[in-house]
Chain A
Amino acid sequence: MNEPIPIVRIVDDDASFLTAVARMLRASGFEVKTFASAAEFLARPELDVPGCVLVDLQMPGLSGMDVQEALAKEGQRLPVIFLTGKGDIPTTVQAMRGGAEDFLTKRAPKEDLLNAVNRAIERDAHERTVHRKLDELRCHFAALTPREHDVLQHIMQGKLNKQIAFDLGIHERTVKLHRTSIKTKLNVHTTADLTKLWMEFLGLDK
């Protein structure tokens, strides 16, 4: 599958700094988009495009924190890196609690900034992959009939076909048929694979 190129969104009211940091990131090989205010960014965040947000903490009007909150409220997990002129401890703590990817001063070493951006983009890519996989699984599991769901639950409890047949009041051969149908629909061959997929679906694979 062909992934779109990740974009680093930079939000800063200081035009000079905005140009400079965009210039440096572009020269380092990143795709960059600049915004002069939080409002401008939130109006068109283009969340489908992967990447991350680099945002100035202290801005007139909406601040960097506001951007983070607005994204979180939308349920979007685009990584946010904060930039600050001061770097005071209380703000850092609050930002990290809010799930900030990183917190850098405006004059942080280039390597730190590039590392932070790379890390953020990687995390975003990973999250997007995980999400996509979960979506697929959800589709597969949604294809099962209610009776197949019941049978699956019992299989996952480690019961034998005989027990399942007794519990559900159906013939043991019918159980076998359901079992085959489930494996086909979920595209697995062994019960072990089925268990692994089930764990993944429940998010228990980590």
Chain B
Amino acid sequence: MVHLPSNVRPINCMRTYSMSRFLSIILFLLVIQPALAVAKPAPSAKEAKRVLIIYSLDQLHPAHILTEQAICKVLRENRNYQVQLYTEYLDMGRFHSTGQAKIMSDFLRRKYAELKIDVVITVYPDALDFLLKNQEHLFPGVPIVASEVTRSYAENLNRSPARRRVTATILGDNAEGVLEAALRARPDTQRVALVAGSSPVDAHSELFLRSALKKCARRLELIDLTKLSMSETLARVSKLPRNTVVLYGSIVMDGAGQSFVPRDALTLVSRTANAPTFGTYDSLLGYGIVGGRLISFERHGKVAAELALRVMSGVSPGDVPFAGDDAYVDIYDWREIKRWQIPESAIPAGSEIRFRQATFWELYRLFIIAAIVIAIVEASLIVTLVINLKRRKQAEKELVESQLRLDLAADSAGAGLWSMDVKTGRIWATDRTLLMFGYAPGDEIDVKKFYAIVHPEDRDRITRTVDTAVRDKKAISDQYRITLPDGSIRWIAVKGNIQVNPLGETVSLLGATMDITERKKMEQDLQEKRIELTHVARVSTMGQLASTLAHELNQPLGAILRNAEAAELFLQDPSPDLDELRAILADIRKDDQRAGVVIDRMRAMIRQRKAERCRLDLNLLVDEVVVLVKSDADKRHVRLAMDVAPSLPPVHGDGVQLQQVLVNLLLNAFDALDENLVDKRLVTVSMQTVGATVEVAVSDNGPGIAKDKFPHFFAPFFTTKSEGLGMGLAISRSIIEEHGGRLWADNNEAGGATFTFSLPVMIGAAA
């Protein structure tokens, strides 16, 4: 998982240049590196500050990308501080349970335990919420700049004691700028078609646009295209009456329940529409909106970074007023302007116009082609020479620069550089590398010495990796363990590349290594905790269910039995006491009802957790489960193999429940292998499409299912295990059947058993 900084790459391009020259430059740079290091502190008398940015959603969220670029730019270019940036993505759109928040907060607390953070910037209210909820453990007292919170959130914040350590930028709530832009572009507009989806986010955007439209209600007629299915939306926007403009809010989910990336949905709508489309955010520009006065995530990032700088200068966040009221930009998409033939006069002066390049090329294409042709015809030789010369100079310059950057980057990332001579096996390494491997700076090492410290379990693999790389001229990327002289074991990540001489022979292997022990440990801890949780949840639900059922039902059933027996005894009397018998029957009736109530209550309890159905990719689901049971498999020496069809259609279902089924089947399979020899334990998970269903099969090579046990296998409380409750398969089957699928078992021809479940393909998924 180690990524060298991207500026390592230029070296690979230089492969064709003289190898000796290349190496000499490296050596030269290594010699002067200490000098550079000494010289460095002089210009950076700036005070160092650490800033942590916590994003609510994921790395690819368009608005986050814009915000991040702006924050980085401002913080990097400021004159007063040397800012070190750290970024974290909470990804709360997809991981929003409290358990996940707990894991995240533990992770962050441990990750940043040794680091003093000066300012935290949060983006979107969720991240701020998360931080304030965990403020006792996470960065207590560190000032917070909250970027892009809503106005109502900010007002709440103003009344809260947390305001003393938080300042914020308020996300604009003025959509009229866009409406004005639309009316300027199309002065004779009479109708506005409002497009929005059905998710909460969509509803929020819809409300926002409606409030702006209300002010022009007399002038404009509203065509309501909200909460429709995508196909209907597209059909409607393609046939809008004259003098209409489209206002796009957001479509995360359409009226038919299908999910979309909002900007992709926008592109669909805009491409199909017979009228220009307008939207409110700068993150939508370039995907089909014309433009206008847009709420700018980029500006928010800039403003937030400026607030952060003020806070760094010692101003208390509580004294920094909320900002962001001016975070709008006048911005237009040139392609849309051309498409709808919007006159230049409709675009306010000073507006930024993007995507103009295409026109430049269109205008000057002939000239450029002609120039190139003439140049080729008239001076091909000279040009070639000049280009060669230039290239070479450029290459040399880039090489020097990239090497410089590489050294700095490697050092600051804690990576050690090395190079291995393929013929002699000698290894040259930086001091950092040597220290990492337990040697003293200046020690001479070679391949043999290196292999000796690699952990015995990894040694063969690493040897093979290196040999293959040298033979097939391939890059290396691997992780392995080493044993230090004091007996401790460290995890090392390595990335390397082959260096080839002009004859095409491999001469050396050049690479970087990094100590990732701490991260490995943290990953492992997290993993273990997660597995523990799953186990506890699985065992306790089933155990509770079984024992509660037994106990609660045995009371009334026992009473009924004893009463019936008593009645029988009474009836043996020649003149039985009829009153007593009536009382007994009444009691039996009462207890029967009591048992009925228990059953109803159990059923209600099981139904309580409402299934959350959504579109599921089974490949992803299986991957997640395999990660969950991996350590169990390792511990029990079970080899897990996957046999996956490349393109499985999605299914509709409850991810948690289906995962529970899979975990159950896998653990059952592991149990079935206990009798097998340690090196003969194999569990295969395979998936395939069969007609309109997807089948997932879990096979083991254990003893298989005894014939006489087949009929009972899925009955509740049937178990072949000494510690089993016999509920797993019964529950699994009812889950699958509730999903409209089937769960069944077969014995394999070659031995072992296969448990298969089928699920119907999600309707409309193929389209």
Q: Which residues of A approach B to under 8 Å, CB–CB?
A: 14, 16-17, 19-21, 23-24, 26-28, 58, 83, 85-86, 88, 105-107, 110
Contacts and interface: CB of A to CB of B under 8 A. Distances in A.
B569 interface: yes
Interface in B577-591: 580, 584, 587, 590-591
Given A23-B563, A85-B552, 19 more contacts: A14-B555, A16-B590, A16-B594, A19-B559, A19-B587, A20-B559, A20-B563, A24-B562, A24-B563, A27-B565, A28-B569, A85-B554, A86-B550, A88-B547, A105-B558, A106-B558, A107-B557, A107-B561, A110-B562
A85 B555 contact: yes
A14 to B, nearest CB: 5
B547 A17 contact: no
22 contacts: A16-B591, A16-B594, A17-B555, A20-B566, A20-B587, A23-B562, A23-B563, A24-B562, A24-B565, A27-B570, A28-B569, A58-B551, A83-B558, A85-B550, A85-B552, A85-B555, A86-B550, A86-B551, A106-B557, A107-B557, A110-B561, A110-B565
Top 10 A-B pairs ranked by shortest CB distance?
A: A106-B558, A27-B569, A20-B562, A85-B554, A85-B551, A24-B566, A23-B566, A20-B559, A17-B559, A20-B563
B653 interface: no
B556 interface: yes
B551 A14 contact: no
B554 A107 contact: yes
A16 B556 contact: yes
Contacts of B557: 106-107
A63 to B, nearest CB: 13
B601 to A, nearest CB: 16
A142 to B, nearest CB: 49
A86 B547 contact: yes
B717 to A, nearest CB: 13
- The listed residue with most B CB atoms (<10 A of its CB), out of A14, A28, A88, is A14
Nearest to B588: A20
B85 to A, nearest CB: 57
A123 B591 CA distance: 34
Contact of B554 (A20, A21, A105): A105
A130 to B, nearest CB: 33
Contacts of B555: 14, 16-17, 85, 106
Interface string B429-441: 0000000000000
Interface string B562-575: 11011001100000
B569 A14 contact: no
Interface in B542-556: 547, 550-556
Contacts of B570: 27
A82 B744 CA distance: 41
A26 B556 CA distance: 20
Contacts of A83: 558
A27 B555 CA distance: 21
A199 B580 CA distance: 54
A146 B184 CA distance: 129
A86 B584 contact: no
A105 B550 CA distance: 11
Nearest to B551: A85
A86 B546 CA distance: 10
A155 B307 CA distance: 108
B627 to A, nearest CB: 34
Nearest to A28: B569
A88 to B, nearest CB: 8
A26 B584 CA distance: 13
B558 A17 contact: yes
A90 to B, nearest CB: 12
Contact of A16 (B550, B551, B587): B587
B550 to A, nearest CB: 5
A106 B555 CA distance: 7
Nearest to A13: B555
B554 A86 contact: yes
A21 B554 CA distance: 13
Nearest to B556: A16
A16 B556 CA distance: 8
B574 to A, nearest CB: 14
Contacts of B565: 24, 27, 110
- The listed residue with most B CB atoms (<10 A of its CB), out of A24, A26, A58, A86, is A24
Contacts of A24: 562-563, 565-566, 569
Contacts of B556: 16-17
- The listed residue with most A CB atoms (<10 A of its CB), out of B556, B569, B580, is B569
Contacts of A16: 555-556, 559, 587, 590-591, 594
A85 B566 CA distance: 20
A28 to B, nearest CB: 6
Nearest to A23: B566
